[in-house]
Structure 1
């Protein structure tokens, strides 16, 4: 079964903060005059990840006379999740009735607020290892040198943080030390750190951008270009690295070194990502909120927050986050892409396409790819192919673009062009299971190159044995080759994995019919009609049911390669 290219996959997560207006909230009177009722409403909002709404309920509960450690603790948590770090710092739990975990988070929040206010000494005291408990020790260790620098402690600022068996602190502590060495004008030591960070085969664009920016500031533009080229060798379409290389090569002003607040914000990005990777989504969101308190213009943090909001179903907050990056920033194209997809996912394709066209008009290649993807999803296949042709001319050799254009050409009814693109993509990426499956299924469905196509989908299934779509392709290959018993076996397996797919159910119905299980075949076809099939499939299935003759045409195709 063919699958179109996936669009942008959201990051992980839950925890959101809704933007419901305060005057839409239930009041004390609405809830029977009960502060406890407001507390329950706030707790429900907090459980659903609606931080701003929860904070408003808890605030009403306290205004209504409630004086309870639990309400205070929940109000603190809601303020953090909503991104109101100043209020959260003032509400940080300290009483005996508060949980130990809330007290620890409260200390971290107060430390970040102190950094935001330029109070380095206060932040240093709050971040001291003896007072900072699990799970915030890593974040505290990474923030400590920046607090020391803000407090005027020169030695503490360049002391590399250490935490036993914590690779995140080890790696990102070195990055922070490199920046702080530069700030102290100890350039040779800074460069030693940057070189160590970028020495591996695939160091990642964060450290490449950091080292390249340092070299640009030192007037070593050619060396900076070489650093960016190292990253582009692995990711030739990386828009951020491309922009950095263009800046360095053209002699434009280098990026400034991070301020103390910006450096501290960057230090929090690592534990945020680590927590999200460990499925600690709420804590990951907390660290993102703290980072944005220190650096409200940190675009990658806004994109991550937007992904969290969208995954949680808080579309308004997601869109507000995606709207933060400004035109001209390296993250702007990605932000507009995510914003456009948020409208597409909400079935507002007109707005999605309008936004994507506006972004693509700037000439940004990533924005053009987004437009092409949205055009394809909205069945504007010829236009999608045209846009991809422009991008491929600027980025030759990218198999993903060839794959996407192949799909668009196929769906536009230009199979010869689509097949050529798919073959070219497969030559560049011979082991990609999605590509093997798409081209293999396309041949199977047309009755072409069946032995080769069978081998291709077998390889795809071997790589993805739990993919119902790929197992469907394999079952359909056996059907086309006339091995109906094996076709039924595989198609039943595919339906078990993806019971709601109309294509797979339709194929299984055809296979049942061929082996004489006609009642079951009719059941499968009737099921197809309940699964919102495409118009063409709906017409075909209705015809099979109305005629009582089952699938029409020869079961086994004759156009096999070599025949």
Structure 2
């Protein structure tokens, strides 16, 4: 089966390489044909050769500046290369030609968010939601901007819409697990985490977050069981050991807690280790 799959992959690569060669020849024969450059750019992009694709997209856009789809595809290629300023300009060019495209407003908003331009990013995400209220990506993007600008309750509302409507809502559920926990809505957070685990039963980070929710609810034994489950996935998970220590303290088991926090110090050298040191100092 592996050999057969490898054969199919080789055949697909060979076909793509022939497609690139044919497209390159067509672009040479018709240097003023935007479609020829676009076809070559698309073939190169498909073959993961973006540095070669971008000049072809640029030539196509110069020859046909009024094709919204071309500007958008060029923007995606620039985004993939991390060329944020140029990608934003191309998304904007596409939207000048097709201003009611919700998905493209989302794409522009995402790139603006990625480049730290939060106010225009929020404007684009709100436009995306207004143009298509059923677009789960737009609600997710708006939730991201709101969360990053410390408006957590409105962000939760947007993530909840995504979680209800997206075909794959798990990123939104992970965000809900984190934000609902931070805002004291522990049962809602746990419900979001359980939805993630239904799809990804070995997601140790989600188990850690659920354990934290139960710590906040002061349900020490349940928190312990979730941390132990996370450690079965990854025995070197420092967050699970830190959570175990807190749960043991809740149960009055200082010696067991200190063992867990000492273990954290062998596994982490950042914020989690600092929390463990603080706990060790507090409970000598």
Same fold (TM over 0.5): yes
Q: Give 1:513's match in structure 2, choosing from 245, 267, 281.
A: 245
> For 1:278 and 1:416, how far apart are their aligned partners in 2?
49
Corresponding residue of 1:263: none
* Change in 2 beyond 3 A, CA 1:429/1:543: closer
Q: Give 1:437's match in structure 2, choosing from 169, 174, 186.
A: 174
TM-aligned CA deviation for residue 523 of structure 1: 4.2
Contact 1:436 1:460 in 2 (8 A): yes
| 1:328-367 aligned within 5 A | 328-329=66-67, 330-343=69-82, 352-362=83-93, 364=95, 365=101
* Change in 2 beyond 3 A, CA 1:437/1:550: farther
User: How many equivalent residue pairs?
Assistant: 250
Unmatched segments (≥5 aa) in structure 1: 1-134, 136-274, 344-351, 500-504, 531-537, 552-563
Contact 2:162 2:169 in 1 (8 A): no
Corresponding residue of 1:268: none
Answer yes or no: is 1:524 the counterpart of 2:261: no
* Change in 2 beyond 3 A, CA 1:528/1:428: same
TM-aligned CA deviation for residue 391 of structure 1: 2.4
How much is the aligned-residue C-alpha RMSD, in angstroms?
Answer: 3.7
> For 1:385 and 1:490, how far apart are their aligned partners in 2?
39
* Change in 2 beyond 3 A, CA 1:454/1:332: same
TM-aligned CA deviation for residue 541 of structure 1: 4.9
Q: Give 1:369's match in structure 2, choosing from 87, 106, 131.
A: 106
TM-aligned CA deviation for residue 422 of structure 1: 1.8
Answer yes or no: is 1:285 the counterpart of 2:10: no
Corresponding residue of 2:136: 399
Q: SS at the partner of 1:335?
A: helix
User: Which has a greater percent of helix?
Assistant: 2
Answer yes or no: is 1:542 the counterpart of 2:274: yes
1:233-284 C-alpha deviation (Å, 9 max, x unpaired) = xxxxxxxxxxxxxxxxxxxxxxxxxxxxxxxxxxxxxxxxxx9994336324
1:514-563 C-alpha deviation (Å, 9 max, x unpaired) = 23343443443564436xxxxxxx4x753552563479xxxxxxxxxxxx
TM-aligned CA deviation for residue 411 of structure 1: 1.8
* Change in 2 beyond 3 A, CA 1:446/1:301: farther
1:198-227 C-alpha deviation (Å, 9 max, x unpaired) = xxxxxxxxxxxxxxxxxxxxxxxxxxxxxx
Greater gyration radius: 1
1:129-177 C-alpha deviation (Å, 9 max, x unpaired) = xxxxxx9xxxxxxxxxxxxxxxxxxxxxxxxxxxxxxxxxxxxxxxxxx
Corresponding residue of 1:159: none
Q: SS at the partner of 2:9?
A: coil
Answer yes or no: is 1:461 the counterpart of 2:197: yes
Answer yes or no: is 1:452 the counterpart of 2:188: yes
Answer yes or no: is 1:305 the counterpart of 2:40: no
Q: Bigger CA drift: 289-298 or 420-429? A: 289-298
* Change in 2 beyond 3 A, CA 1:284/1:373: farther
TM-aligned CA deviation for residue 292 of structure 1: 1.3
* Change in 2 beyond 3 A, CA 1:322/1:507: farther
TM-score of the superposition, structure 1-length normalised? 0.38
> For 2:147 and 2:37, how far apart are their aligned partners in 1?
41
* Change in 2 beyond 3 A, CA 1:476/1:543: closer
* Change in 2 beyond 3 A, CA 1:427/1:459: closer
* Change in 2 beyond 3 A, CA 1:520/1:367: same
* Change in 2 beyond 3 A, CA 1:490/1:331: farther
